[in-house]
Each structure stands twice: as structure tokens, then as C-alpha cells.
Amino acid sequence: MPLLLKGIIFFTFIYSINIFSQEFNEDEFDKLLNSSISFVIKSKKVDSIIKLKNISETNISYVYHCYARFLHKNKKNKESFYFLNKAIELREKNQENDLISLKKSLCNLGLYHSRNGSLYKSINVFKELIDLPKEDRLRMKAYSELIMLYSKIGDFEKSQSFFQKTTNYHIENKDYKSLYKNYMRISKVYALKGYKLNSKEIIYYLNKVDSLGKYTEIVIKDKAIINLRLGRVYVKINQKKKALSHYNKALVLYKELKDSTLISTLNNNIGDLYLYDSSLEKAKLTLQNSLLFAGDDIKSKSLAYSTFGAYYSRMKDFKEAKLYFEKAIQLLVFDNETDIYVNPTVDELTLKPNKLRLFDFIHQKASYWKGRFDNEKQNEYLNNALIDYKLADQLLDVIRFDSTEKMSKLFWREKGASLYMKAVEVSYLLNDMESAYFFMEKNKALLLLEELSDQEAKVLSNLPQQLIERDFALKQKIIEIEEATVSNKTDVLFELKRSYEQFKDSLATNYPAYSKLKKSLPVLNLHNHKANFINEDSATLQYIINDTQAYGLAITKESTTLYHINDGVILQNEIGELTTQLQHPFDTQTEVAAYVKNSNSIFEKLIPNSIFEKLKRKKITIAADGIIQNIPFEALISDIENQNSYLIKYNEINYVYSFSYLLFNSKKIRDPEHIFLGLAPEQFKDKSLAVLPNSINEVTSINSIFSDKIFVKEEATKLNFKTNFENYKIVHLATHSGSSNTEKPWLAFSDDKVNLNEIYATQNQADLVVLSACKTSQGELKTGEGVMSLARGFFFSGTNSVVSTLWNINDKTTQEIMYSFYTKIKDGQTKSKALHESKLAYLSSHQGSMGSPFYWSSFVLIGDAGIVPMDDKLNLPILLLLFVIVLMILGVAFKKRHKK
């Protein structure tokens, strides 16, 4: 360095010291940090300023804040976090006078954590920022960052709520630049959820960005990203020419930007397109370019490795494919490549920010092992596939637990369903019953089990009762607003959910035992299943099904059999036809013959003859899946030569959502004060609902067995249901119900309806709820979780078992079956046997059309199949009266004895 230049720098340095020693000046400090003097000299100068005795806390916090930003730019992350936290500490003291400075520091801290890959720390900081007073630009910045942060951990529903909040603000303030950035973010969220399934939403929001170009400039990088995303969409919806056109536009823009990592990503996408199109040589060349431009960027490089793995799998070069799949995972988990690959543990995966991509990579690697087995027929490859499927499942649990919104959890349940089917297929090929059972259980009602586990964790961790009640009250309020019609519903719901999140965060902080326990899901293994559910007289059937495949698992005392169900597509069509056949009585022999043929075909697929021989005369508990949940097994024809060979004549049958849930739910303590509650509206305020003339007779005749509480006619109100529901062992509802694609399942009372969400917001202690209404087992089918039906709603709110219906019922025959059912319940029979014998009694006393399954097989028992305890509790006044009488008798006896 020339001597003159050194002198100028030294003079500037000394001069600035003199200025700062007299009085701190923000502009001079900014000039110092932006000057061309060396990093070392700047650092020394800042140190000298920090040591000044006469500098105020406001000024020193400014120094810390700006110096932290300077250090971050120079990749001194540890030091940057240190000084930024010191700035925040001082600014928190002064927030009443200068709130904006505190928000700026928190905003920077959130951004730095995010860039550093510490997503959860970043989320917590931004949550702290949005909890500060005043809705301003910095709060909106925090909301915007949270859109992407929550999407990166898989909580897409929460991302969408923050998107809605910020979008409304930007529209009101005509902030078109921020608005277009928001549309870019939400298009990314939908892309992460799946390009194919969300193609319309992605295209819609990217077009919204384009439309804002007349109000604000769309920067080149975002124009390139728009074309990149559109290209990806068109690949997935099989419009390859459009896809390639958009990719080429993006490539031109990326080259203009000279952004090598983005060029790498684009080449990877083009390579994937060629791979999809079987243009393998073009794919290889493009993927080589992707690796070349990736350089040392871990995300880009790992993505290229993964796609190269898929390329070599297509080429049947399995050794190279394995190498690249392992490199992709290793690079994302350990940030480096080594010659020896070791499968990461779930704890190692939990710490990484790229969990969604890691899940895809591990899932992809498991599929590679299965593909290699198909080619080389070595069981070693199946074992490796199973190891990877189990690891992917563990990671999926972590992602799902991180998601707090219901719709996000359901998304990940659906994502898991394809994994579980593949894992069961591998288990079948290995004849691994234990693994097959595990994955079948994981594919059913896991969110119900989570809710029950959460309730249990509150008790086991000694959570104060007022906090348990607060938790329930907040959830109730959220559901209430979701169902309300208010003008500012979005904002109110957002604030409520935020309050609930703050409450849950405080529970996790103050009661760590609760936080740990609620994540411990009690999923059964095969050994415990047999110990709890299998004996000489009982057996279980478990199913898993998707659009093309299906498997069954039959467990008896003597054997465990995993079997492949052939013709999965045909089975789906047959079940669809069966549900139509069951919804009306048979009027002709032609209808009977068609039913017998179709029903027997389904029976032989679901319960092959070799399995049926093991199950005859046993009580069978069935955990169905998918479309199989729509059929009553009792009504299946077991012998095509005998049109009356209904399965009910050979087996007593009941149903469960999952065996893990059944066992856990049956252990829940229920202690209601009363036995029977019945409601029968008969007529309805909603005149579109038909009068139910037999419903009152149904409820009053049942109550003659129990002599307890009923509400009929206009007294059968929504309020009377909700206020009395919690305190009865048996609840019987004889009314209308319904569900559709546009409407949540509902139950009608004389004055109003209660829908599924409202049932979720109730609590009950019922051992048995009977839904004597139409289609109460019907609802939206959520793949990997089950049917979102009224029956499920009652389980969610605490019920031990539910008798529900699969189609529209006849209220006259219902009355006959239900009276018989309750008489047997009162006599101490199990719920399962009582319903079984009541159906058989109906069937034996009705012939012809009246004996059609339409009349007797719609009712199904879900959940616990045991007896309903009938020990009616003596209330406190009666106990006190008895105590007084006993004392009086003893007193009289004592006096007589004393006189003698």
C-alpha cells in the first residue's frame, strides 16, 4: 500500500476517534462501517466506541445493531449473533420510547437465523416480533418471512394464514411490490405441496404477479423464478413443450444474472424433464451441467445427485444409482461427502432444516432398493428398502408434529399413505408380518391417536386443571369463529389462532414433560396386538388399499397371514357398485342375483376361502381402509350358490379405526353421572327436513328400558344436546343427518344443526353413542387418516364406541332393531353381540324384500365392543340420606340396649 494512502487512512481513523470521543454520531458511524478501510481496523474502532463511558444505551444499542449487520455481511455469524442479541437486550428496556428499533433488531435476528438454517429459532424470533404492539411494515415483514419458514417445516396451512393476513394489508396500502412478492411466496408454498395437485393455484398466483407488472417492476430474478415454476408445473401436467419453453426463458434470465446456483437448479429441472420423457442422453448432459454450475452449493449439488440417482436407476446401473442417492442424503445431513455412507439417525435428521427434501430423498432411495429387487431378486435389497421406509416414516412423524394446523397434518397423513403402501408391499415380499402390521396401523386414524395422546399427556405431566380447561376453551372458540358468519372473520380467526399458539408455546416452555409425552404415540406392535385382541374365539382383519393395490392381514390364535388382494382396480369398482345396491331394498330376483354375484366377488377378494376357513364362528374385529370403510362385511355373500349366506350368519363383526386407537381409547377414564340420554326432534325448524314420525316411539321405547332422560319434539334442541351430552353413559340420537362435498357432516335438532366441527369442540364421557340417522359413517375420505364422519367426531370428543350408519335408514325397522339391541345391552351382553343378535333376529323374522341388507346392515359398531357398565351411581344427596338413616337406626338400637 502506498505510504500516502496509509497516512490518509490513519489520519481518518484518528480523526474519527476524536469525533466519537466527543459525541456519538450515527452518520459518522455508518460512514466508518461503509468505508474502504480494512476489517481489522474497523473492528478495533468499533471496540473503542463500545468502551466509551459517556455513550448512551440508545447509541450503544445502535452500534451493536449496525455492527452485527456488518459482521453478518462478512460471514462472522457467531460474533454477529452476539452483538445483535446485546442490541435487543438494550432495546427491550427502551421499547416504550423506541419500539421500531427493537423490531428492526428482531427482524434482523430472525433473518440471520433463517439464512443460517436455524428455522425454528427464526420462527420463534419472528413470533416475538409480531407479538409486539402496532401493525406496521416490520410486522408485515415478519408475517412474510413466516410464510416461507412454516412452509419449509411443512406447516403449509399456517403459511397460508400468514399469506392472507399480509395480502390484505398490502392491498389496502397499495404496496404492489410487497404484494407481488407475497404472490411469489404463496406460489412456492403450493409448489412444495405438490406441483401436479396444486397446478391451478400455482399458475393463478404467478399470473397475479404478472398482472402487477404494470404497477411495479418485477425484478429479473423473480421473472426467471416464474418461468422456472411454470416449467415445473407443465412437466407435471404433461405439457412438455410448454415446460421446455418456460425453462429456456428462465435460462436466458439466469445467465443474464450470472447466478450459477440457479442455473444449476434449472439444468436439474430440464434434466428431470428429459428423464421423464425417456430422452436419457439429453438428461445426462443436462445433469452434468447442473453439477458443474452447482459448485459448492449444498442444496443445488444434492438435488443434482438425487436426479442423477434416478437417471442411473433408469439405466439399470444400480451401483452408480446407489452412490448418487447416498451422496444426496449425505450432503444434506452432514454437509460433506465421504467414501463410506452411513444411514443417518432420526435425531440427526431432526436437526436439519431441509427435512422436506430429505424425506423425498430417503423415500426415493427406498424405491430404488425395491426397483433393484425387481431386477435382481435379492432379498437383501428388500431389507434395505424397509430400513429406508422406516427412517422416512420417522422423519414424517417429526414433520407432522411440527405442523400445528389440522389441514397441514392431514396433508402429511396423505403424503405418508403412499409410503405405507410401498412399505407393506415390501413387507409382503419379505413375509415380514411385524413390519406389515406396523405400517398398516400407521396408515389409520393417527391424528385421533395424537389427540388422545395429547389429553393423556396433560394428565400424566400434572398439568393444572385450569390450563387444561383453557386449552379446550381456546380450541372451542376457534371452531366457533370458523363456523360463524362475521365480516372480519379472517382477522379474528388469525388472532385467535395466534393466541392459541402462544398458549401452547408457554405450555411447552413451562411444562417440558407434557411437551415430551404428547409426542410419544402409543402405536401397537404385532405382539401386543395379539395379547390384547386375539384368543381362541376372536380374530382381526386389517386392510390397506389405494387406487391400484390392496393387502389384507388376518390374525387368529393359530396363525397370522398377510395376503395380496388381486385386481385392486376391479375391487374399487365393485365396492362402488355395492354401495349403490345396498341403498335400497331388493324388489326383483334380478336385483338379488346381481347383488349376490357382486357381493361374493368382493368377499372372495377381501376374505379368500383359505382365510375364511380360519375365521369361521369367530368374533372378527375389522380395521378397514379407504373405500373398504364404506361396506358392511356382515352383508357380504360368502357362498355364491346360497343367496342367504350372509357373513353375519357365520361371524359376529365390529369395526375399529385402528387397533392402537381402540386400546388407548378404551383405557380412558369415563365417569358420567347418568345412564341414558335420548333426543328425537320429530319435526324441524328447517322445513326441508322431513318429519320423522317413528323417532319419538324409538326413543321413548328405549327409555322404558333405562328410565332416564329424553328430549323429544321441540325440546330436542341443539342447546339441550350440548349441555347434557357430557354426563351420560349412553347417548341415542334419532334424527336427520347429512354430508356432501360442499357441506360438513351435520346432525339436525328441532331448532338448528350441529356440524362435525362443533362436535369436535364438545367433550363427553359416553361409553356408547348411537347415531340413529342417515349416513353418520359417511364424510370426506382423507387418505391415510380415514373418513371425516360424525362418528369420528364423537370419538374425537371422548366416546368409547359409536353405532353409526352407512346409508339412509328406514326409521320403522330401525326402531325394531334398536329396541332389541338396548334390551340386550341392559341384560349385560356386549355391544358387539347385542347388535349381532338383533340383526339376526330381524333377518330371521323378515323375508323377501323386507329381509334386504338395506334394512338391517346399515348400522355398524365402531370402537370398543365390550359391555356397557350399568352400575348406576348413587348421587350425593341419596348417599347422605342413607347415611342419616343408618345413624338413626344405630342410635335407636343403642338406646334400647342402654335401657336394658
Domain match, 73 and 126 both: yes
Identify whether residues 751 and 814 lie together within a single domain: yes
Predicted pLDDT of residue 3: 44
pLDDT at residue 900 tops 70: no
Query: Are the beta carbons of 615 and 579 closer than 8 angstroms?
Result: no
CA distance 655 to 632: 9
Distance CA 131, CA 419 (A): 39
Tell the burial category of 76 from Cβ atoms under 10 Å away from its Cβ (0-12, 13-18, 19+).
middle
Torsion of CA 589, 593, 598, 600, to 10 degrees: 120
655 and 674 belong to one structural domain = no
Q: Edge-to-edge strand order for the sheet containing 560-564?
A: 560-564, 550-555, 538-545, 619-623, 652-655, 859-863, 801-805, 768-772, 728-734, 674-680, 709-712
Domain shared by 655 and 704, yes or no: no
Q: Please give the residue that has the higher pLDDT: either 577 or 457.
A: 577
In a domain, 317, yes or no: no
CATH code, 74: 1.25.40.10
Q: How many residues does the chain have?
A: 900
- Looking at the structure, tell me whether residues 548 and 678 fall in a common domain: no
pLDDT of the residue at 898: 55
Are the CB atoms for 530 and 478 separated by under 8 Å?
Answer: no
Question: C-alpha angle with apex 466: 465 to 470, nearest 5 degrees?
Answer: 120
DSSP line for 803-861:
EEESS---HHHHHHHHHHHHHHHHTT--HHHHHHHHHHHHHHH--GGGGSHHHHSSEEE
Q: Which one, of 270, 325, 320, 284, lies nearest residue 302 by Cα?
A: 325
- Quick one: 469 and 422 in the same domain? no
Are 563 and 555 in contact by the 8 Å Cβ rule? The answer is no
How many folded domains does the chain comprise?
5
Side-chain-facing half-sphere of 862: CA atoms under 13 Å: 34
Write the CB contacts of 565 (distance below 8 Å, at least 6 apart in sequence). Answer: 545, 549, 550, 551, 552, 571, 605, 606
Which grid coordinates belong to 527?
405382539
Question: How far, in Å, CA of 186 to CA of 497, rounded?
Answer: 20
Higher pLDDT, 378 or 492: 378
Same domain, 128 and 53: yes
The runs of H, that is alpha helices, within 443-521 are: 446-460, 465-483, 489-510, 512-517
Q: What is the CATH number of the domain that holds 809?
A: 3.40.50.1460
Taking the CB of residue 653, how many other CB atoms lie within 10 A of it?
25
Mean pLDDT of 677-687: 94
If asked whether residues 690 and 580 sit together in one domain, one would say no
Q: Tell me the per-residue pLDDT of 694-747, one tens digit each, with 9 for 90 and over.
A: 899 999 999 999 999 999 999 999 999 999 999 999 999 999 998 877 778 999
Instruction: Judge whether 9 lies within some domain.
Output: yes
| Residue 53 is assigned to a structural domain of this protein | yes
Are 760 and 724 within 8 A, CB to CB?
Answer: no
CA atoms of 796 and 609, how far apart (whole Å)? 37
Binned at pLDDT 50, 70 and 90, residue 7 comes out as very low
Q: Which residues contact 99 (CB under 8 A, 6 or more apart)?
A: 132, 133, 134
**Count of CB atoms situated within 10 Å of the CB of 853:** 24
Domain that holds residue 482: 464-510
- H/E segment holding residue 705: helix 695-706
The per-residue pLDDT for 880 is 60
Q: Is the per-residue pLDDT at 552 higher than 90?
A: yes
- Final residue of a structural domain among 109, 139, 169: 139
Query: Is there a domain that residue 48 lies in?
Result: yes
Q: Using CB atoms within 10 Å of the CB of residue 153, give its burial: 0 to 12 exposed, 13 to 18 middle, 19+ buried.
A: buried
Biggest CA–CA distance in the chain, Å, is 129
Helix (H, G, I), strand (E, B) or coil at 122: helix
Q: Are strands 538-545 and 550-555 parallel, antiparallel or unpaired?
A: antiparallel
Q: Report the percent of the chain where pLDDT is more than 70.
A: 94
pLDDT tens figures, 38-76:
999 988 988 888 888 788 999 999 999 999 999 999 999
Judged against a pLDDT cut of 80, whether residue 1 lies above it is answered with no
Radius of gyration of the CA atoms of the chain, in A: 33
Query: What end-to-end distance do the CA atoms of the chain give, in Å?
Result: 126
What angle do the packed helices 57-73 and 26-34 form, to 10 degrees? 20
Burial class (CB in 10 A: 0-12, 13-18, 19+), 461: middle
- 775: in domain: yes
Grid coordinates of 162 = 400468514
> In this structure, what CATH number is given to the domain that contains residue 590?
3.30.420
Q: What is the pLDDT of residue 370?
A: 97
Mark whether 650 and 673 lie in a shared domain: no
**Domain assignment of residue 113, yes or no:** yes
Query: Cβ neighbours of residue 86 under 8 Å, at least 6 residues apart?
Result: 61, 64
Pair type for strands 801-805 and 859-863:
antiparallel
Same domain, 713 and 580: no
In our burial notation (b when 16+ CB lie closer than 10 A, e otherwise), range 102-134 reads bbbbbbbbbbbbbeeebbebbbebbbbbbebee
| pLDDT (tens digit per residue) in 216-249 | 999 999 999 999 999 999 999 999 999 999 999 9
Same domain? 376 vs 400: yes
Mean pLDDT, the chain, as a whole number?
Answer: 91
- Look up cell 419449509; give the residue: 152
Within this chain, do residues 651 and 673 fall inside the same structural domain, yes or no?
Answer: no
Is 288 a residue whose pLDDT tops 90? yes
Residue 548 is given by DSSP the state S
The residue among 459, 457, 611, 605 whose CA lies nearest residue 539 is 611
Distance, CA of 184 to CA of 178 (rounded, Å): 10
Pick the closest to residue 483 from 738, 741, 722, 754 (CA basis).
754
The answer to whether residue 266 sits within a structural domain is no
User: Residue 768: beta bridge partners?
Assistant: 730
Whether 19 has a pLDDT exceeding 80, the answer reads no
pLDDT band at 20 (very low <50, low <70, confident <90, very high): very low
Determine, yes or no, domain membership for 805: yes
How far is residue 651's CA from residue 29's CA, in Å, rounded to a whole number?
85
- Domain end, chosen from 106, 139, 172, is at 139
